[in-house]
Chain A
């Protein structure tokens, strides 16, 4: 069945370090891919998206490229800030039925000053 697998956390980095959070998916066809972010005590915010192969989604210095050949959508940021501390969820939209979103387990990121 459709699923999303992302690297386990927590990930702890120092400010200005490079971030990679790995994400792979299984799905029927070619779903749209998303990264959502959840700051402490808040809801889910869409961080970026990509809708077809080789698309690069980007926002707030974060990037992720839709890799069809490896069914991956890894999240990267060149220089993290303390304010980036949050839980990051990789997700894809089902192509069938009600187009539900299927989430990975989430990766908690801690950034130290």
Chain B
């Protein structure tokens, strides 16, 4: 069964540095998402992306965050200047066409900001 893959599995970065989290969604999916989960807390929506543009974003997704689909397969989340509170597990997800389709999640990237 096709799956969403994320790299790296764990990223350790100094505060203030830029970080890029990478995702390869399922190949025929059209909607792409990023979520984050701070340790022990709920999964929070960050952003959705469709047709090469952001379709919705949360208040968490401020100017420090950006997403990009640089080619036909990758979907990236960039944090320009990381803060301690950005430490979390970041999940990428994708879904196919149709409002009833579930999202398929990757295994996540654990981001640790020092």
A residues near B (Cβ < 8 Å) are: 32, 34, 36, 42-46, 49, 51, 89, 93, 95, 97-106
Contact = CB atoms under 8 A, between A and B. Distances in A.
Contact of A89 (B43, B55, B102): B43
Nearest to A34: B102
Question: Which size bracket describes the interface of B in this complex?
Answer: 20 to 34
B48 interface: yes
B75 interface: no
Nearest to B106: A43
A100 B106 contact: no
B25 interface: no
Chain B binding surface, main DSSP class: strand
Contacts of B41: 105
Contacts of B104: 46
11 contacts: A44-B105, A44-B108, A45-B105, A46-B104, A93-B102, A98-B50, A100-B33, A101-B33, A101-B93, A101-B103, A103-B44
Interface in B28-57: 31, 33, 35, 41-45, 48-50, 55-56
A86 to B, nearest CB: 14
Given A44-B91, A98-B33, A100-B45, 5 more contacts: A42-B107, A46-B102, A89-B42, A97-B56, A99-B95
B99 A99 contact: yes
A100 B102 contact: no
B56 A103 contact: no
A46 B4 CA distance: 13
Contacts of A103: 42-44
Nearest to A91: B43
B43 A44 contact: yes
- 7 closest A-B pairs by beta carbon, nearest first, are A98-B48, A98-B55, A43-B107, A97-B56, A44-B105, A98-B56, A51-B100
A104 B42 contact: yes
